């Protein structure tokens, strides 16, 4: 399970910022859910914790059954609706380069400023979780009220 110590920078693929906002305890497996809960607990305890925003598998993906050898097999890597494309589209909208280190609460503040529902629905349109409505609720609510 998630074991990074306080000095290690957490890797987050960009679209997982939206997943974190919408997370309600559901996920791909028990291990996946437990890991994501731990990551969110870390951010709750230290909202200014630095993260590296990336467009590859991250610390959330580590316990996902779709992660095969460090690569997401859910969709083709650069397909229009792939997780990688979602990451890159979100990073562009946030004005952040892949690989940049930012404080978690700064990234969440940028999402609040720059990401609206239409944009989220467009990049997440083929995600099985988006249809459940939790991500929409999460985006409206924002990190501070989660
Ligand atoms: S589906 Fe892909 S991007 Fe999403 S958590 Fe699993 S490995 Fe990561």
Confirm whether 5 is domain-assigned.
Answer: no
Within a 13 Å sphere around the CA of 19, how many CA atoms are in the beta-carbon half? 25
Task: Give CA angle at 135 (132, 139), nearest 5°.
Answer: 150
For the chain, the domain total comes to 1
Pocket test for ligand 1, best of 19, 27, 64 (most atoms within 8 A of CB): 64
CB count in 10 Å sphere of residue 115: 18
Residue 93, pLDDT > 60, answer yes
Least confident span in 45-54, 78-87, 93-102, 136-145: 78-87
In a domain, 2, yes or no: no
CA distance 129 to 6: 30
Output the pLDDT for position 145: 61
* Banded pLDDT at 126 (limits 50, 70, 90): confident
pLDDT at 81: 72
- CA–CA gap between residue 93 and residue 76 (Å, rounded): 22
For residue 29, give its domain range: 10-145
DSSP 5-55: -TTSPEEEETTHHHHHHH-SS--SSHHHHHHHHHHHHHHHH-TT-EEEEES
Residue 65 inside a domain? The answer is: yes
Which residues, judged by CB distance below 6 Å to any ligand atom, belong to the binding site of ligand 1? 28, 57, 60-61, 64, 66-67, 72, 74, 83
Q: How confident is the model at residue 103 (pLDDT cuts 50, 70, 90)?
A: very high
pTM for the model: 0.93
In a domain, 76, yes or no: yes
1 in a structural domain: no
Q: Which atom of ligand 1 is nearest to the CA of 13?
A: 3
Q: Is residue 22 part of a domain?
A: yes
């Amino acid at each position: 399970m998630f074991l990074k110590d306080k000095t290690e920078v957490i890797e987050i693929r960009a679209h997982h910022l939206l997943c974190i906002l919408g997370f309600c305890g559901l996920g791909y497996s028990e291990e996946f859910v437990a890991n994501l809960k731990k990551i969110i607990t870390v951010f709750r305890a230290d909202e200014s914790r630095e993260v590296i925003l990336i467009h590859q598998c991250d610390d959330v993906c580590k316990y996902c059954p779709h992660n095969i050898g460090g690569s997401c097999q859910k969709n083709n890597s650069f397909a229009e609706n792939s997780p990688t494309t979602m990451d890159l589209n979100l990073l562009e909208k946030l004005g952040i380069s892949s690989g940049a280190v930012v404080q978690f609460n700064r990234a969440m503040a940028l999402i609040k400023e720059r990401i609206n529902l239409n944009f989220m629905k467009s990049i997440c349109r083929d995600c099985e979780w988006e249809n459940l409505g939790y991500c929409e609720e999460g985006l409206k609510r924002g990190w501070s009220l989660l």
